[in-house]
Every structure is written in structure tokens, then in C-alpha cells.
Amino acid sequence: MVQQYLVREYERINENKLYESLGQRLNIDEINKIGYTKNIQDLISNISNDDLRDILLRDIRECAISLVTNQYKSCIVICGSIIEAILVDKIEDKGISKFDIGTLLYKKPKSKAVKKMDLNELLELAKAEKIIDIEEYHLSNYIRFYRNIIHPSCEVRKDY
């Protein structure tokens, strides 16, 4: 009886080592090392749309936690959300609320509200309107493609 208890406790302790190591990396020094500082939070506070600002603050904090705890898949997915929120804010700041995205992507007219666009459409619009430069466009597109690993079938096929 005592031996069974000790074996179970030993297994539990070993199983918990992974989570302890995650916890040890999750501290303010590690978070600051990757650039998540008051400075980044202050930059986000300049966003006038309260909902977008709150989403960005939440997502960037979650992304920082994912990064320092080596949760890279989660980090990439959240990065896509961050890019999308920033693009919506910058596009709306230019006074664009609706755009004919069809001529850029679909070779036929298709007017669409900015808030209903997916990341690919937002990137194409931002590039066309010179809101982002070509390097930002390609880097953001790389993240958009890479986040497809969220689909297990893509990850198994290594289709990313």
C-alpha cells in the first residue's frame, strides 16, 4: 500500500517537471528580454478603437507568455491575430471602411467591409494602399502561411 502510494507520487513528481520548467521561465526578466515591456504597452495605448486596443493588449501578452514558455505553435497563431488587429486599425485610420478587394485578389469586383476581411485580404489592401512596405507584407504573409500548422493534417504532411 505504501509502496504503491510512493510509486504514484514519484510518477506525479516526474510528470510535473515539465510544468515546473515552464513556470521557471515565466518571469518578468524573460518577458522583458523578448521585448514585452511597458514601452510596447504604451505604443498600443495609442490605438483609438477601445476593442482593438484591448484585443491587442491581451494577444501580445499571451504571445509573450507563449514565446518564453516555448509554446511556438500558439505564438504563431496569436501573431496572425496581432497582425490582423494592427492592419484593421491602420486601414481604418486612413479612412477606409470598405474596399473593392475583388480587383486585387479575385479578378472581379467585390466590395467588402474592412472588418469582414481575412488576413490575406487585409495584407493585399495594406500593400496596395502603401500602409505597409513590401518587407512587412512578405513577413506577415510568411506568418499567415506558417500558421496553417494549426491544422493537424498540414502538420502531418509537413505542408507549411
Amino acid 47 reads: I
CA-CA-CA-CA torsion sign (144, 135, 68, 36): negative
The pLDDT tens digits for 97-120 are: 988 888 777 788 888 999 999 999
How many other β-carbons are positioned within 10 Å of the β-carbon of residue 16? 11
Rounded to 5°, angle at Cα 114 from 98 and 129:
75
Task: Based on the fold, state whether residues 64 and 76 are members of the same structural domain.
Answer: no
Task: Based on the fold, state whether residues 95 and 149 are members of the same structural domain.
Answer: yes
Of 40, 70, 100, which residue constitutes the final position of a domain? 70
Task: Based on the fold, state whether residues 136 and 76 are members of the same structural domain.
Answer: yes
The pLDDT tens digits for 20-65 are: 877 788 899 999 999 999 999 899 988 888 999 999 999 999 999 9
